[in-house]
Structure 1
Amino acid sequence: MNENTLFNSNITKEEFLKTFWNKRPYLFKNAFQNTEDLASAEDLLDLALDESCETRMVYKDQNSKRRLVHGPFSEEELHEYLKKSFALIGHNLNTLSPEFYEFQKAVDFIPGWEFDDVMSVYSNDDMSLGAHIDNYNVFIFQGLGKRRWEIQESPNTEWREDEELKVLKEFDPDYEWILNPGDMIYVPPGVAHHGTSLSESISYSIGFKSLETSDVLGSFFTELDDVGFFSNNSFNSKTSSDVPEEAFKFFREQAQNFINDEKVFNKWLLKKLSAPKYPIEPSGDPIPESFEGMSIEKDVQLKYAFAPTGEIAVNRKLYKLTDKQRNLLLQILDANPFGPITISAEQESELKDVLKALWCEGAIFESAL
């Protein structure tokens, strides 16, 4: 194996992206080490009690039907759920500790603007979420215990009506894999998968959003409409409900013009791809007179995307930078969010206005470390 192979396997990044990404599942044996030490069951149960954490509980009722409830939970509620067959799901673990953030960085050969979150599933023996399909790319690795994964590459997408979760009505797996601690599978969008715990189990997933054309174009035209791109032209109609051909032609041409305008579309796409999962709140702290020598941190969910033209979008705001400025900014943006970053004199000189803007948005702030 060479340094370009993935997760202790014999496959290179290039081979994986060409042959499997968005196409076929793949099994990585012994992808990670010491995954049992990432989090204990108690750690994940604590998340379910925390109002600032996003959690869900799936449990089986007296008729063995899966039911879904959202956290946070009281200790009494949690105690009752743990008496049943259950699966506790935790979201956004990458924002909670540097250990989980490292798993986000482990897959940084995938564009960061596609990244969604690191998620956990803690379940007792013989529990599953049912055979289902995700509309995103996901790496799933085993932290504690064992889990059996059954895979069907071309499923029939009819859903059971007696389940609160979207569970497939028919599931005929093509193959199955048993995951031990450290093992990992990759599952592309549209591939059915069914995971069943074979003991007390903690598994983790690293999810990447799939950008659907309908979503991209829909939000693009919504934004254009909000800023008044479409004309309020009057059209001659036979009746109040009649839409004449000239109206269809006009709006069709408008839509084509905006999509074909590379500057308009590219700027919008950069802004969309740099949007964080949840809004970043400004701190309201006064802007420092100088950033030089200051120890700062960046918001853990800060996202950014840049184009070959030199434009970069950070937290949905566009900046036109030179190559030198962009490289200096990336030294800040690429840094670990769980540690301080010291601003150099060169960064202060070249990026003063950008740093001020990021500070006002809450994207960067003074470190307490």
Structure 2
Amino acid sequence: MDVLGGLTAEAFLREYWQKKPLVIRQALPGYQCPVTADELAGLACEDSVESRIVIERDDGKPWQLHNGPFSPERFESLPATHWTLLIQGLDHWAPEISDLLEAFRFIPNWRLDDIMASYAPQGGSVGPHFDQYDVFLLQAQGQREWTFGGHCDHTSPRVEGTPLRILSSWEGEETVVLEPGDMLYLPPGIGHHGVALNDCITLSIGFRAPTMDDILTGYTDFLCSQTDASEHYADPNLAPQTNPGAIGSEVISELERMIRDKLSDRRQLALWFGQYSTAPKSLDIVVPADDPLAPDLLLERLKHGEPLRWNEGSRFAFHELDDETALFVDGERYLLRGEARDLAAILCRSSSVDADLLAPLLDEPALAELVAALHNQGSLYFE
């Protein structure tokens, strides 16, 4: 699918990605939302689905947030207008929504987060705000008016009396109305405000970027879990010093050496990041298969043309090391060598696995066992 309005991926990434907004008219011509407002409300009643309702004026308070799961009766008590229902990770529960992500594979798999659905009646909104991530806003039903523009950060004034980060004293630079099939790309930090002109559904294809805190704490926790993390500080050449209270410069130098030795291991960093970035967002959807398959039966079904695809909540990625390829699936790593290295690229290229390329590799029993294990743990399934 060409969702960039005629722009090449190279041109989009060079001119717009993390730089400036882009309105794409009819990114998906004639697009019809595969889920209804009633179905979204039904999902919001499920314990395993992350859902929220935002009411612009709730009992005199501005922009109030309510977290699901909700009872069916909750929707009967909502006002007629000026509220929004948000369903996070809709692609995890609806394959038709998950298929949208195939149009965005010009961005690495690990950067993709999920697709959030926003349903709102007339006037519904989540208020003027900004995000710290890239997002494509696809209009799936009805019309929504977007005002956007101007860079915002943590110093931007906020509305008081709400748990949401609503901007105050903000005025956008451009206003557009999106019709079904239209899309708006916004880089991080750009203020925006979308208001439903009628009953509408917007799909937000979001991308993630780990914070420095995520990276440092995640990687150091990983390093500390390794077997050599119990190594103690040593100073066999300790000499007397004038004041026992002083921490000598040689101590700091030794600490720096110890830390640098651990942080300079690129292989360890790559293995950690592959596992970290593919950890599933929802543990409730990546569950063991009801009918586990033996490797020979899985291969037989592949050769008969049955389509194999990723679990909608699974994440696949790989990294090329010097003499092997690390395949990462749902937070686990698998090291492949020799001709087996081709398996990683085949599994990670698309959520619909190319059976014609995969089947010949599975004549190798070890690879057949690996793919069968991925199926049986719930990361892959036959449609």
What corresponds to 2:305 in structure 1? none
Distance 2:23 2:231 in 1: 53
Distance 2:310 2:85 in 1: 30
What corresponds to 2:28 in structure 1? 32
> Does structure 1 residue 16 correspond to structure 2 residue 20?
no
Question: SS at the partner of 2:254?
Answer: helix
What corresponds to 1:300 in structure 2? 312
> Does structure 1 residue 362 correspond to structure 2 residue 378?
yes
What corresponds to 2:330 in structure 1? 315
Distance 1:44 1:272 in 2: 30
Q: How big is the shift at 1:124?
A: 1.4
What corresponds to 1:278 in structure 2? 282
For residues 292-332 of structure 1, the C-alpha deviation after alignment (integer angstroms, 9 at most, x for no partner) is 21466542222122223333222223233247434345444
How well do the aligned residues superpose, as a CA RMSD in angstroms?
3.1
Q: How big is the shift at 1:185?
A: 0.5
User: Residue type matched to 1:229 in 2?
Assistant: A
Q: How big is the shift at 1:131?
A: 1.3
Alpha-carbon distance change, 359 to 29 in structure 1, aligned in 2, over 3 angstroms:
closer
Q: How big is the shift at 1:335?
A: 5.3
Structure-2-length-normalised TM-score = 0.83
User: Residue type matched to 1:325 in 2?
Assistant: A
Cα contact 1:335–1:341 (8 A) shared by 2? no
Alpha-carbon distance change, 48 to 243 in structure 1, aligned in 2, over 3 angstroms:
farther
> Does structure 1 residue 190 correspond to structure 2 residue 206?
no
> Does structure 1 residue 263 correspond to structure 2 residue 261?
no
Cα contact 1:146–1:181 (8 A) shared by 2? yes
Question: SS at the partner of 1:162?
Answer: coil
Distance 2:162 2:293 in 1: 52
Distance 2:134 2:204 in 1: 10
Q: How big is the shift at 1:289?
A: 5.5
Deviates more, 1:54-63 or 1:300-309: 300-309
User: Residue type matched to 1:25 in 2?
Assistant: P
Question: SS at the partner of 1:211?
Answer: coil
Structure-1-length-normalised TM-score = 0.86
Cα contact 1:9–1:29 (8 A) shared by 2? yes
Question: SS at the partner of 1:141?
Answer: strand
What corresponds to 2:124 in structure 1? 127
Cα contact 2:299–2:368 (8 A) shared by 1? no
Percentage of matched positions with identical amino acids: 25
Count of residues paired in the alignment: 361
Distance 2:185 2:172 in 1: 16
What corresponds to 1:164 in structure 2? 163
Gaps of 5+ in 2: 303-307
Deviates more, 1:349-358 or 1:127-136: 349-358
Question: SS at the partner of 1:293?
Answer: helix
